[in-house]
A and B are shown apart, each in its own frame.
Chain A
Amino acid sequence: MFDFLEGYDLLGAFWTTVQLTVFSGIIALVWGTILAGMRVSPVPLMRGFGTAYVNVVRNIPLTVIIVFCSLGLAEIFGITLGAPNDFKLQGFRLAVLGLSAYTAAFVCEALRSGINTVPIGQAEAARAIGLNFRQVLTLVVLPQAFRSVVGPLANVLIALTKNTTVAAAIGVAEAGLLMKEIVETEAQLYATAAIIALGFVILTLPTGLFLGWIGKRVAVKR
């Protein structure tokens, strides 16, 4: 029944999806944390920058960002991220750049709401014993905030996994592009859709369940 899949690299495509998710996830987590730090910092200019970044990036479609990375950054400005001749690698890196720039805004917002769940008393007590802003944030508030946002961050990660399909718009060979290729040449539409859908369910469902379980375990009991 699934003979028609011969000649298509199904596992390879999903492997690219996983790689896109992992790389973008890590970069977005780091960049999003820095942005969240900026948004609560005592320096008005940094707060302003953080707010502006989040509001602009969150309101532009991811597709526009990723297409811009390819047609704008790479083609016109010649920013090829160290792979000027290897178009496969270049597309992959540009997709990671776009995905992490976009996802970081959501990580930042999730973290910021996590910071809001930390009781005022914690920050007040930390200030009372003489800690400065950096110490209050890194030693007292952020550790508790991270524990309370595992659930929301898991949702961001799942959304990121699904968003990797947008990389199909610039020709990165991931699961979404493979599906488009298969349904355009083969007749077995339902079988193809079922397999690709199953692949995404397999990727997202365990992530959600596992991180949801972790989130409940590590949440600060109040």
Chain B
Amino acid sequence: MSSVLYDIPGPKAKRRNLLFSVVFLVLLGLLAWWAIDLMGDKDQWVWAKWKPFITAEPWTTYLLPALANTLKAAGLSMVIALPLGALLGIARLSDHRWVRIPVGAVVEFFRAIPVLIMMVFASAFYVQSTDISSDDRPMYAVITGLVLYNASVLAEIVRAGILSLPKGQTEAAKAIGLRKGQTMRTILLPQAVTAMLPAIVSQLVVILKDTALGGAVLNFTELLNSRGTIAGYYGNPIQTFAVIAVIYVLLNFTLTTFASWLEKRLRRGKRSTGAVLGAGAVEDVAGAGAGTAGIPAAKVRGSFSDGSGGTV
């Protein structure tokens, strides 16, 4: 692979790179050896501790139901947060100041607060004001917290998606006599949704990861929470950590890869206006606060992707 940062290696550079590779490999090897040795010291390589995971029992009794809960919470949160976010995002672009400013304040507020705070609040709120049974409460609280936070993040994504469309689209719609609502509904939104798809899929990864908070703090029986039960039953905490980490990585890596595939495909496509809100837009937006308030994420992102140094 060539790069603009360095010349194509000649004989001397090749030797030097090989030397660096060897040194780095030795360092990595030492680290791995230390870790493996430590595992051995604490009797973590004993087959009995790994064996349960090749039998069906831990999967059918604990892991799969827990995974189902994780996916259920994440899926429901996304399904509820998406329309809410779209509404907030469009309201924030309103021509009326009395709509735009309060909605902007609400969105910025919820982006500035940790999800955990919202989950804890939701849980306590359900205890005080509703009679949801204590079995269902963690799930309700987790979804409420995730919806409040992600609706405001998605609002920003929707806003950025609409702002990323070329101005000519609105102008042409005005020229043929469409009203504001018609322009939004028939011209801007359909294109913006396509542009936003990669960012929305990436947000799903964020939601999925955040469900683990509910497991640790509210005792919601999702994947991370099932870890304690399994480790307690089979006496293998480290091995269980390894298994659930692998599940999370596989799940999220698939979603991330899908998002970037989608982004590439949409960028190549000739039918759209070429506006695409990349996967990275989510991180720019998810940072919250007033960091990029006023600068649409698409613009921040745009400078990264169409920047001239693409080959680095």
Which of B113, B116, B238, B289 is the one whose CB lies under 8 Å from A208? Answer: B289
* Assembled-state Cα–Cα distance A170/B284 (Å): 28
Per-position binary interface string of chain B over residues 191-219, scored 1 when its CB falls under 8 Å from any chain A CB and 0 otherwise: 00000000000000100111111011100
**Contact indicator B310/A109 (Cβ below 8 Å):** no
Within 8 A of A (CB), among B210-230: 210-213, 215-217, 224
Of A5-13, A25-33, A83-91, A194-202, which stretch is located at the interface? Answer: A194-202
**Contact indicator B309/A117 (Cβ below 8 Å):** yes
Query: How many of chain A's residues have a CB under 8 angstroms from any CB in B?
Result: 81
Which of A71, A119, A155, A180 is the one whose CB lies under 8 Å from B309? Answer: A119
B6 contacts the other chain (Cβ, under 8 Å)?
Answer: yes
Which of B17, B21, B108, B245 is the one whose CB lies under 8 Å from A64? Answer: B245
* Assembled-state Cα–Cα distance A44/B308 (Å): 24
**Contact indicator B116/A165 (Cβ below 8 Å):** yes
Q: Measured between C-beta atoms, what is the minimum distance from B71 to chain A in Å? A: 14
A16 contacts the other chain (Cβ, under 8 Å)?
Answer: no
Within 8 A of A (CB), among B235-269: 237-238, 241, 244-245, 248-249, 251-253, 256
B53 contacts the other chain (Cβ, under 8 Å)?
Answer: no
Which of A59, A137, A208 is the one whose CB lies under 8 Å from B293? Answer: A208
**List of B residues within 8 angstroms of A44 by Cβ:** 1, 21
**Contact indicator B113/A136 (Cβ below 8 Å):** no
Most buried by A among B108, B238, B241, B304: B304
* Assembled-state Cα–Cα distance A110/B20 (Å): 25
**Contact indicator B216/A152 (Cβ below 8 Å):** no
Per-position binary interface string of chain A over residues 136-176, scored 1 when its CB falls under 8 Å from any chain B CB and 0 otherwise: 11000100000010011011111100111110110000011
* Assembled-state Cα–Cα distance A158/B286 (Å): 9
**Contact indicator B307/A127 (Cβ below 8 Å):** no
* Assembled-state Cα–Cα distance A132/B13 (Å): 10
Q: Measured between C-beta atoms, what is the minimum distance from A192 to chain B in Å? A: 8
**Contact indicator B112/A200 (Cβ below 8 Å):** yes
Label chain B's interface by main secondary structure. Answer: helix
> Number of contact residues on B: which range applies?
35 or more
**Contact indicator B213/A166 (Cβ below 8 Å):** yes
**Contact indicator B284/A152 (Cβ below 8 Å):** yes
Of B94-102, B118-126, B158-166, B173-181, which stretch is located at the interface? Answer: B118-126
Which of B117, B128, B211, B237 is the one whose CB lies under 8 Å from A72? Answer: B237
* Assembled-state Cα–Cα distance A162/B287 (Å): 9
**List of A residues within 8 angstroms of B310 by Cβ:** 116, 120
* Assembled-state Cα–Cα distance A121/B109 (Å): 42
**Contact indicator B292/A155 (Cβ below 8 Å):** yes
**Contact indicator B114/A136 (Cβ below 8 Å):** no
Which of A136, A180, A184, A211 is the one whose CB lies under 8 Å from B5? Answer: A136
* Assembled-state Cα–Cα distance A205/B288 (Å): 9
**Contact indicator A165/B114 (Cβ below 8 Å):** yes
Q: Measured between C-beta atoms, what is the minimum distance from A45 to chain B in Å? A: 5
**Contact indicator B280/A141 (Cβ below 8 Å):** no
* Assembled-state Cα–Cα distance A157/B287 (Å): 8
A22 contacts the other chain (Cβ, under 8 Å)?
Answer: no
**Contact indicator B6/A196 (Cβ below 8 Å):** no
**Contact indicator A162/B215 (Cβ below 8 Å):** no
**Contact indicator B292/A176 (Cβ below 8 Å):** no
**Contact indicator A71/B237 (Cβ below 8 Å):** yes
**List of B residues within 8 angstroms of A162 by Cβ:** 112-115, 288
Taking A60-B245, A63-B215, A158-B291 as contacts, is the C-beta distance between A43 and B117 under 8 angstroms?
Answer: no
**List of B residues within 8 angstroms of A45 by Cβ:** 20-21, 24-25
Per-position binary interface string of chain B over residues 9-22, scored 1 when its CB falls under 8 Å from any chain A CB and 0 otherwise: 10001000100110
Within 8 A of B (CB), among A38-73: 40, 42-46, 49, 55-56, 58-64, 67-68, 71-72
Among residues of B, the one whose C-beta sits closest to the C-beta of A17 is B114
Q: Measured between C-beta atoms, what is the minimum distance from B112 to chain A in Å? A: 5
B130 contacts the other chain (Cβ, under 8 Å)?
Answer: no
Q: Contacts A116-B305, A162-B113, A208-B291 given; 4 further ones with Cβ under 8 A?
A: A116-B304, A155-B287, A175-B117, A179-B121
List chain B positions with a Cβ less than 8 A from chain A: 1, 3-7, 9, 13, 17, 20-21, 24-25, 28, 38, 42, 44, 108-109, 112-117, 120-121, 124-125, 128, 205, 208-213, 215-217, 224, 237-238, 241, 244-245, 248-249, 251-253, 256, 280, 283-293, 295, 300, 303-305, 307-312
List chain A positions with a Cβ less than 8 A from chain B: 40, 42-46, 49, 55-56, 58-64, 67-68, 71-72, 75-78, 106, 109-110, 113-124, 127, 132-133, 136-137, 141, 148, 151-152, 154-159, 162-166, 168-169, 175-176, 179-180, 183-184, 187, 189, 193, 196-197, 200-201, 204-205, 207-209, 211-212
